[in-house]
Structure 1
Amino acid sequence: MKKNNLVTKSNDLIEMPLKMSVVELRIIYVLISIISPEDQEFQRYRFKISEFAKLAGVKNKNIYAQVKEYTLNLMSHPFYINENLQVNWLASAEYFPNEGIIEVEFSPKLKPYLLQLKEKFTSFRLNDILKLKSAYSMRIYELLKQYEKLGQRTLKVQRLKELLGIEDQYPVYSDFKKRVITKAQQEINKSTDIEFSYVERKSGRKVDEIVFTIKTKAKQNVTILPATEAVSSVQTHTAHRLSDRLKKEFGLTTITIQTILKAYEKDYITEILDIVKIDVLSGRVHDIPAYTVAALKNDYRKKKTELDMELERQHTLKLEKEQKSQLQQQYYAAVAEKLNQYIIAMSEEQLNIEVQAMLHSVADKDIEIIITDVRDPQLMSGGYFRQYLNKKYFSDYTFDVFMLDITKA
């Protein structure tokens, strides 16, 4: 599983009252993390039931029945979005007992809140949210993560209870503070990429609202594994170079390095080091030398499950789609700039000729063109005018041509 994947949700989805168990939340966060930002439709996600149970933290011996119960809950306990839409998380969960496989799919009504998000959304690392042990901590984390850049968020006590799905619980504020807020603060500050403090505001003698101050933790510099010194596993390493890498990147002592070089083949060592490096950069390793020795001894290559490989494949596709999307946005911006420069260079006479030609081309269509607006790209007439000019003069400037220009540059 790629715990470094991003979980990206519409802010509307975060700002809804939600009452879910920690296991149900984990299931949803993991499923969201493997959505590609370019997906037009939800995919059907397949997992081994044993891996799915491990991922969700199901420890009951009868994991098959337990997982079925959780997915049924996610299909049969609807919630509201913006007071108008009532929806379930999952549209289906199909089991294949002979294969030990489960296949799940999001409800299609959630598409506007999870797919093709361009604005008003919040992202966080799956690894951070999965470290939290309490459902309340998970929900408070994403509610604060949403305001991370602003650095502060104020919530009425009753509103916070509603968002956590406990509006009728903890009538005594001190109990709510102890069991929910303080516990969440301890977990979030210890285990995630943010930390928070808070101030209570009273209305009379009663605490009425809470002002949260949110800080981003300084990123840990992994100096022991500098990215500039990354070495591919397909390279041939001399004993000297491999020894140097074990010492500088992985912090091993000379005696330990000598023992490793005598005990294992160089290609095997290199392959294990690349696996260790990925684990270190994902934040899962605290004692790098000890972890490296254990990985060599126990052959951590065997620990990559089918689920890991599938999520890795989907993560790679996600990155490729993100890169293509960025390039496409650059292409659209380049076309827009060409059109703007072309229009700026036009004389009034040329402009009038082109506008009249455009009006003639759309005479049989129900389109209203305001001639005084054609120079402004933000107005509808200006948009139509640019579409007309683009088709007439810049149709040869395709995405492929743009990519060639970038390559030459």
Structure 2
Amino acid sequence: MKKIAILGSTGSIGKSALELFDGPLSDYKVIALSANDNVQEMLKQAKKYKPKYIAMLDTKAAEYLKKKLKGVKVLSGLEGLIELAVLKEADVVLLSVVGAVGMVPLLSAIRKGKTIALANKEALIIAGELIKKEVKKYKAVILPVDSEHNAVFQAMQGNKKEYIKKLIITASGGPLKNMPFESFNKISVEQALAHPTWKMGKKITIDSSTLMNKGLEVIEAHYLFDIPFEKIEVVIHPQSIVHSLVEYIDGSVIAQLSNPDMKLPIMYALTYPERRRGIVKPLNLAQAGKLEFFPVDFTKFKAFSIALKAGKAGGTMPACMNAANETAVHAFLEKRITFDKITDIVEKVILLHKNIKNPNLEQILKTDLLSRQAAEEIING
């Protein structure tokens, strides 16, 4: 039995993870849960899974839960998230908090040498260089939850890194893959959120529509697996059956295939190095039919190119790019800007930024704040 702390339990990853405790992980124990401010969902989860600890980022939400729940230690704010991230009792910390706020709990867990199932890509994007150093220093373990990185992780098992020729990360192409670039200024929020394959949170779904998500995943893969950018390739695969591939120097290509369901990579990250009988529908290749692969249209999906450039620049540039993108995406979701302006805003903020090489945590956080402010100024005109 393992004891699991889930940071971000009311989001799509957190909810999918908790479903596993009703079936294949019924012998595991949920020891801690955290959320932003969704008190009603947290009340349901607390009553069902009976954690010892709960942390709410929103202090009012935490106060409300303290009155409603007995026998549970309720914490609040960023300090509460940090306390859960470093719990001695937790065998694995599932970090699925969305956005840059996940970086501090992640670093805290790393510095305690924890095993972390990482579903927050932003933390690794904005502080990849720092996180990489800290993981090595404190002998922490990061297990990827993202379906693509989890697939790469599985395809690398039993092989030496020097045998790898390249990583091939697949992208569904999102809901707009067949839409002409000229119509991007007319795309509605509802259209951009209508992902053909995955059920995800709103922010990541918009990132999938711009293909920013795939650019972020390339940066993430670079830091997770210590593979140079020039050895990471992205291909469009509309069926979302092949989640990623690893090509080796002898010409062999090893891939991980499954029906698209986030419960599979979540479970593998939580049970590693074991495997459990899952609740994911088995893959029938004859029924799946054709598996197609296409190159990325760099002209149409500028956000992908912007993310790659920021990743290769390193330093504080990825933090700047990520902050500007988060701000622009939220503005689009609030219908304050048109879809095509998301990428334009990110590009403008990057041009204003003076990159700092080998940044410390304070410099990264300052870059994040200033880049959000710069993006807001551009949005507000």
- Give TM-score, length-normalised by structure 1: 0.23
Which of the pair has more CA radius of gyration?
A: 1
| TM-score, normalised by the number of residues in structure 2 | 0.24
Which has the larger helix fraction? 1
